[in-house]
Chain A
Amino acid sequence: MLYDLFALFFGVFVTVFIYSFLWKENPLSRAVEHLFVGWAAVYTLATMYDAALSQAIWGAERIEGGNYIWIIPILISFMYFFFFSKKYFYLYRYPVSIVVGIMAGMMICGMIQSNILAQIQSTARDLPLVGAGVWDYVGGSTFIQGVNSLIFVVASITALTFFFFTWEHKGVLGISTKIGRYVLMATFGAAYGSTVMARISLFIGRLRFLYETTYTDEAGWLVNAWYIIPIAVICVIIMALWMRSRPEEKPAEPAPKPEKPKSKG
């Protein structure tokens, strides 16, 4: 279908235009970025609209099924439009307060079990072989698993002590926080390596799109994304030449300050 051909052209063009930003910012890359912002805003709104409809209106247990209590959330949400009112601005705080209260309550409940209790339990419960069941998998002797376990417990505790700001980091606490600092450096090093890996993966994905995507119509006519890349690059070159030929824009001169009225007497 021609739609698919158009999509292929569009995909290659926006990819090349955005990558042209790496050389120098130019009108083509900026135009694509602004288009992206506009479409992203509408898509986000569309997903929120769907969420609202699914939660409040559709379904046998919602307004559609006669459960009219769900009109209340809709009326409350309309209070958000008082954001634009100067006189009744404060009314927009009511729906915001509801959201903040509910999310804060859920945060407390969710975080305590999974991020605190479970973490502490798994560190303390299986002593001396912390992580038992995980490191069994790797194999190796109990001695190696025991060493791993010891390192893990020491590293966890020393890294935790690094965040104790109530007492001065001196003496035993000072030694512990120093070890904890190196543990955290190792953590951030692992995070850095993972981040590099992830970012390069994204770039690989785009290159595979540029090198491997094809379009074939019913007549068997084949269009490779390869063929379209030079056209997009030529557009960027033309834009670069046009930018070079334009005189440089001088920064706008500031408006002259109004004269102070002379004081009488």
Chain B
Amino acid sequence: MSIGSISKIDRRYLYILLFIAVSIPLLSPLKLPIPIGEHAKRVYDLTESLTAGDIVIESFDFGPSTRPENYPQAKGHLFHARELGLKVVALAFWPSGAPIGEEALREVYGADFEHSSEYGQTVVYLGYVPGNEVGMQTFGDDTSTAKGTDHWGTSLTDLPLMRDECRSAEDFDLWAEWASGTPGEQQVIQFVQGRHGGPSAVPIVVGATAVSVSGMMNFYTSGQIYGILNGLAGAGEYEFMLNIGYGYPYEQGPSLDAQSLGHVLILAFIVLGNIGYLLTRSKGGKS
């Protein structure tokens, strides 16, 4: 292989290598041990610290394009909330999040949960709440003004949890934001937490796509976000902790193995590209 060819590999061969590298662990898992990060641990510990009967807002603000990262995060936390006896008010400020939220609730609370006895008492699903950040602000000020019915058209006045207990942000004990864009965690901070007493009054935990986590770290260190599930890795860490504590199935292992090989391959591409560049430069050629 000549110097010139190192820096001129057809991109389609790179695509094939990536495809193979990511596929192998999915078909034959490597079972790599998963280190639990501080950010996911804080989400777990804050949720554990809540007492039975505390109200958790689960906001499904993502679409099918980021489902591989956000869905396992949201479903795991929903399971955790149910196990602890927390009261869950689930909703979505993204229209595409509404069917995904419904699916997660059915998987955790049962296929027919909206007709169960606990619906309206310990769990309510509002579905899509329109208005984006304006809707968030309105929901924080008065939950019944933001949307008068649940996802299936039942008036909130017929649901004891919404009628008597969850009236505004003053009643929220935790806001779990599963976000992949706008409106997302920043809008919850601006239009809900900031208006109703700050982080101590409305603590927020976030499950986000990895691409947006680096941008929200300043909110984390300022305390406005208490904990973060960082993409697929964060989902895997949370599932792992739930698996140890509650026997929750740990399903993200193969995905994290695939992610590991993908990362190693990207690093290899960077090294290869720079070797070609440095060799070309040292020979006096144009890069």
Contacts and interface: CB of A to CB of B under 8 A. Distances in A.
Whether A and B touch directly in their complex, counting CB atoms under 8 A apart, is answered as yes
Contacts of B22: 200, 203-204, 207
Contacts of A61: 145, 148
B68 A204 contact: yes
Nearest to A152: B221
A95 interface: no
A122 B218 CA distance: 10
Contacts of B7: none
Contact of B190 (A43, A50, A114, A196): A114
Contacts of A213: none
Nearest to A24: B12
A interface residue count range (under 10 / 10 to 19 / 20 to 34 / 35 or more): 35 or more
Contacts of B210: 194-195, 197-198, 201
Given A133-B223, A194-B213, A208 B255 contact: yes
Contacts of A73: none
Contacts of B186: 114-115
Interface string B1-27: 000000000001001001000110011
B130 A114 contact: no
B68 A190 contact: no
A196 B266 contact: yes
A191 B232 contact: no
Contact of B67 (A50, A106, A205): A205
A192 B220 CA distance: 19
A196 B270 CA distance: 12
A118 B232 contact: no
Contacts of A134: 220-221, 223
B145 A55 contact: no
Given A61-B145, A198-B231, A205-B68, A23 B12 contact: yes
Contacts of A43: 95-96
Given A22-B15, A58-B148, A201-B259, A113 B190 contact: yes
Interface string A51-63: 1101100111100
A142 interface: no
A187 interface: yes
A203 B131 CA distance: 31
B262 interface: yes
Interface string B232-260: 11000000000000000000001100110
Given A61-B145, A118-B222, A201-B68, A110 B190 contact: yes
B272 interface: no
A35 to B, nearest CB: 16
Contacts of B218: 119
Interface in A164-178: none
Interface of A: 22-23, 43, 46-47, 50-52, 54-55, 58-61, 106, 110-111, 113-115, 118-119, 121-123, 130-131, 133-134, 137-138, 152, 187, 190-191, 193-208, 211
15 contacts: A43-B95, A50-B128, A52-B130, A60-B148, A61-B145, A113-B195, A118-B198, A134-B220, A187-B214, A191-B211, A197-B211, A198-B69, A200-B262, A201-B231, A202-B66
Given A110-B191, A118-B222, A198-B209, 18 more contacts: A22-B15, A54-B130, A55-B130, A106-B137, A114-B190, A118-B224, A119-B218, A122-B222, A130-B221, A194-B210, A194-B212, A195-B210, A197-B263, A198-B69, A201-B255, A203-B262, A208-B254, A211-B26
Sort A-B residue pairs by CB-CB distance and give the 8 closest, nearest first: A205-B68, A51-B130, A122-B222, A110-B190, A47-B95, A198-B211, A198-B210, A59-B148
